[in-house]
Amino acid sequence: MQLLMIIFGALAAYIFQKMFRKGRAMTLVLAAAIYVGFAVTQQNIGVTLLSMAGFLGFSGLALMGGRVNFWWLVAGWGLHGVWDVALHFTKPNFFAPTWYAFACLGFDLTLAAFILHDGLNPPKYMKR
């Protein structure tokens, strides 16, 4: 499963080559919003508030990544991978399914690595 998500992450990275920073940032916001959806299904205010706090934090990183520089996006995607697994193991089956938490870890870290590479070696269409 993890290998499949790394491959999926690499495919998404290829698609990301066609997106500018703002598009990459919006994708991070979407990834964080998925956890709010999982939390709402738990009908637990604490879980929902925690996921909303994460959503706000990742939205802030995405905003900085879209407007300031790519390092914020690298941090956002890398931390989102940690968030996936940390939430799952804070309390077993916290609110994201096990398969989703580990699949996202591979996906998020693959995208973080791609954005880091792309930021350090920008393609011609992204040069400032």
Distance from the first to the final alpha carbon of the chain: 38
Model pLDDT, residue 17: 61
Predicted TM-score of the model (pTM): 0.78
The percent of residues in the chain predicted with pLDDT above 90, rounded, is: 19
Cα 52–chain centre separation: 15
* pLDDT tens for each residue of 17-59: 656 667 778 888 888 888 888 778 877 788 788 889 999 999 9
pLDDT greater than 60 at residue 127? no
pLDDT, residue 61, reads: 95
Specify the pLDDT at position 73. 93
Three-class SS state of 92: coil
Residue 80 confidence (pLDDT) above 60 = yes
Q: How many Å apart are CA 89 and CA 64, to the nearest integer? A: 29
pLDDT at residue 94 is higher than 90: no
